Amino acid sequence: MSTWQEVRACAGVCGRVVLTLNLTGRHMRNLWSLSTFSRSVLNQLRRCSPQLVQIRCKGEEPGWGSKKHIAKRRIQLQTLQDTMDPQVEQQLAPLRARCKDQGDIVRQLKESGAPEVDVKREVQELKNRKKELEDMILSLSPTDTFDRAKMNDLIKRRFFYDISFAIYGGITGQYDFGPMGCDLVDNMLAEWQKHFVIQERMLKVNCSILTSEVVLKASGHVDKFADYMVKDVKTGECFRLDHLIKQHFEKKLSEKKTSQEERETINRKITLLDGMTMEEMDRIVKQYDMKSPLTGNDLSDAMEFNLMFPIYIGPSGNLKGYLRPETAQGIFVNFKRLLEYNQGKLPFACAQVGNAYRNEISPRSGLLRVREFTMAEIEHFCDPDDKTHNKFDQVANTEMMLYSACAQMDGESPRKMTISEAVRGLGLPSLGLLSTPMEVGALDFFLRDRSYILGHEPSQADVTVYKALEQPPPKHLVHASRWYHHLGSFTHNERLDFRGERSSIEQLTGGRQKGLVANETLGYYMARIQQYLLKIGINPKKLRFRQHLNNEMAHYACDCWDAECLTSYGWIECVGCADRSAYDLSQHTKGSGVKLCIERPLKEPKMVESFIAVPDKGAIGKAFKKDAKAVQEALAALSNEDAEKMDKALTETGEYDLNGYKLTRAMIPSFKREQKKVHVEEVIPSVIEPSFGIGRVFYSLLEHSFRVREDDDKRTFFSLPAVVAPIKVSVLPLSNKQEFVPFTTKLADALTELNLLVRVDDSTGSIGRRYARTDEIAIPFGVTVDFDTVNNVPHTVTLRERDSTEQVRIPIDDVPLTVKKLADGKIQWKEVTDKWPRFIAQETTK
């Protein structure tokens, strides 16, 4: 049993009444889940009787037993390793190297069957070195005192959001947004609209949520939009397979008895989990003899579960459909109209914001995995042979934290670089300088991003490096050794894939040859996504872009990066950004028979041969009546390949199914070949898709901006940037005397006139308590009308900034415009404190 066996809630005056909750079984799985659970129970108690229930969690008290301390330290270390700053990483490098060297010694001794006493001595030394490293990690990392229970308490109290149908017990995976949540989401979306739709001159659509089955069949969702699950054979409880495995592995990792070797195997499996097939996961469940985490019962074989909500459109029940699982398909099916609207020209982008629905197997982690959520998606259509972006130079120097597929595979940390370096490749070190160990070390670091895993074509410089390193490089230069090995043992077009099998560069990369990020357009959007997230208040230290591993990426995608935010639940994918190649438009062209392509002028006209169906129009008209035109159009749109297939099928079976229309030989008596001179070629555009899960960004933003006042840990607030804060300014009259009313009213009206959302708080509470209340709902600026305002001429008020709590004295007439500029980010608070005197105290008090 772990540390959190009991949690005490002390109720009543002086804690004389004590409620003891004994938590066992599933809540003991790990420290985090127990802590969340216990806190939610305690919060419920507190809600019932807020004055009487004082909450103390035993595990939070000082004086944990050593086991507890070790578990906490391990979790803390795991989180810190994930978020390590590259500069800190540099300081840690020598300690890591010491651990690695010692690890090698231990391994060698074991392999050579050395006496146990020698092995033990070296193992002890390894442990000492590891401890030294861990202590350094802990000492170099900023302490994060985030308290999720405290934040959730504030979220509930001030109704940012709450579980849906709460008065009936609520439903997991569904949430209702209250006034604060609605305004915050609206402001985030308004900023999104400005940042993307307006600044990038995008088109917009608003498409149907009820989606016909044919559309989602063509897109691949009916067949493939599934997660894997297993069931408890006795209770029928369902578990998402990857979550179940991950949880089991995390438990194993937290156990002291798990050997280092086992840890390494487990960590590798966790990295590969996202892209594993159902069979691979099923094998793991059996290999580790996993049981139901709730009951300990056996589990069924793995099975697929389609995540879409099926529906029947109309009363007859004949038209099957689904609630849309993403907004993107609405854009693809309207591509032809959008292209016409854009005068037939590429590139262009179209955006859509709206709800999507996914019947998640086990919704959890609050807003992070829900069944109904808002998406904001962009489809940028471009020429597949030209993915440059004309505004790339504007973002080229944006620094980003990139977690490449190689780094993930090698167990290394993310790396900061400019998006230009990521797209166009890093500058090569000069070989002439490679004389000192440091310079060779720098080369090693450089080679990391040119790893064989991403299948970079070896450049001339790489070949020179290879030649320069005539002997295999020293072992500790991991990347150089690998590079040496792989350049030496494969043809220039071959690499090892992540499973250790040979594969061609094209297969591994989808054609990418140069930088880390596949092309400029993808890189441009990644930088713009980052700019947006930082603008609305995401903490830059808790943001990274993680590249999908080859096994994770859809087979048609060339490259995919997720913007991930660090939260108390770990790193969370908030925005996906993928180059989806021509997949979607090709699929809908096949599914609908309507060509979703552009005509690109050829430099030189060329002769092409077409294989064309020659229909009997009369027979088709008779058979299909009002649909005859659609059939004729589908026939005209047939590719040569499909026309050949149709001819063969009609000859062999007498029938052919064209988009649901059954055609017979009598309707298509013959086919003909025609030579045509063409001046244009038809090309299916590629699609770059940034896809935002607004709920996840919203939640990460709340965590990143949650603050507790240093001098009073009961005063919690959200430090949201003014651009997204739901209410921009409060007006607080110090007294409810009649003389104050005209000042308060006039000021509030003038602020409203500038479209600023104002809250007037003329309640009788002390001004400190009223400030605390406005802070809680993130109001960034507050204006206090006091006795000096009323008594003195010119009339002045105090203007207060939420985060610093600083106040200045400012003429009342200057307030509206100053607040407007602050709220729009046109001026910073510093400019206000530079211009107006600091407020110390009122001169008059009645």
Question: What is the C-alpha separation between 319 and 312, in angstroms, rounded?
Answer: 6
Beta carbon nearer to ligand AMP, 368 or 643: 368
Question: What is the C-alpha separation between 699 and 565, in angstroms, rounded?
Answer: 10
Q: Which residues does 221 contact at the CB level (< 8 Å), separation at least 6?
A: 308, 322, 325, 329
Q: Is 73 helix (H, G, I), strand (E, B) or coil?
A: helix
375 is an interface residue for ligand AMP by CB under 6 A: yes
761 is an interface residue for ligand AMP by CB under 6 A: no
Smallest gap from residue 153 Cβ to ligand AMP (A):
23
Q: Is-contact 52 11, C-beta < 8 A? A: yes
- Which of 406, 410, 413, 480 lies closest to 441 in space, CA to CA? 480
690 is an interface residue for ligand AMP by CB under 6 A: no
Put residue 230 in one of left, alpha, beta given phi > 0 → left and psi -120 to 50 → alpha: beta
Question: What pairing do the DSSP bridges indicate for beta strands 807-811 and 796-801?
Answer: antiparallel
Question: Near ligand AMP by CB under 6 A, which window of 383-391, 485-493, 570-578, 736-744?
Answer: 570-578
Binding residue for ligand AMP (CB under 6 A) from 11, 266, 370, 734?
370
Smallest gap from residue 745 Cβ to ligand AMP (A):
43
Residues 314-333 that bind ligand AMP (CB under 6 A): 326
Question: Near ligand AMP by CB under 6 A, which window of 10-18, 179-187, 569-577, 666-674?
Answer: 569-577
Give the sign of the dihedral formed by CA 252, CA 255, CA 258, CA 259.
positive
Size of the site for ligand AMP (CB under 6 A): 15
Q: Is 597 helix (H, G, I), strand (E, B) or coil?
A: coil
Binding residue for ligand AMP (CB under 6 A) from 360, 379, 579, 775?
360
Interaction pattern, residues 205-224, with ligand AMP; x per rule: CB under 6 A: --------------------
- Which of 798, 784, 804 lies closest to 731 in space, CA to CA? 784
444 is an interface residue for ligand AMP by CB under 6 A: no
Residues in the chain, overall count: 846
Smallest gap from residue 337 Cβ to ligand AMP (A):
23
Binding residue for ligand AMP (CB under 6 A) from 281, 284, 575, 734?
575
Smallest gap from residue 304 Cβ to ligand AMP (A):
16
691 is an interface residue for ligand AMP by CB under 6 A: yes
Smallest gap from residue 168 Cβ to ligand AMP (A):
22
Q: Tokens for 648?
A: 């063969």
> Could you please report the per-residue DSSP string of 109-160?
HHHTT--HHHHHHHHHHHHHHHHHHHHHHHHHSPP----HHHHHHHHHHTTS
Q: What angle do CA 480, 484, 486 make, to 5 degrees?
A: 115
Q: Tokens 């487990």 sit at which residue?
A: 266
Strands (E), 615-694: 655-658, 661-664, 670-683, 686-693
Q: Is-contact 185 699, C-beta < 8 A? A: no
Question: What pairing do the DSSP bridges indicate for beta strands 796-801 and 781-785?
Answer: antiparallel
574 is an interface residue for ligand AMP by CB under 6 A: yes
Smallest gap from residue 272 Cβ to ligand AMP (A):
19
**By Cβ distance, which residue is nearest to ligand AMP?**
693
Question: Near ligand AMP by CB under 6 A, which window of 246-254, 460-468, 574-582, 838-846?
Answer: 574-582
Beta carbon nearer to ligand AMP, 699 or 743: 699
Binding residue for ligand AMP (CB under 6 A) from 160, 348, 373, 381?
373
358 is an interface residue for ligand AMP by CB under 6 A: yes
Smallest gap from residue 577 Cβ to ligand AMP (A):
9
Smallest gap from residue 562 Cβ to ligand AMP (A):
6
Q: What angle do CA 727, 729, 735 make, to 5 degrees?
A: 125
Beta carbon nearer to ligand AMP, 593 or 695: 695
Beta carbon nearer to ligand AMP, 129 or 324: 324
Beta carbon nearer to ligand AMP, 551 or 632: 551
The residue ranges that bind ligand AMP (CB under 6 A) are 326, 358, 360, 369-370, 373, 375, 573-576, 691, 693, 695-696
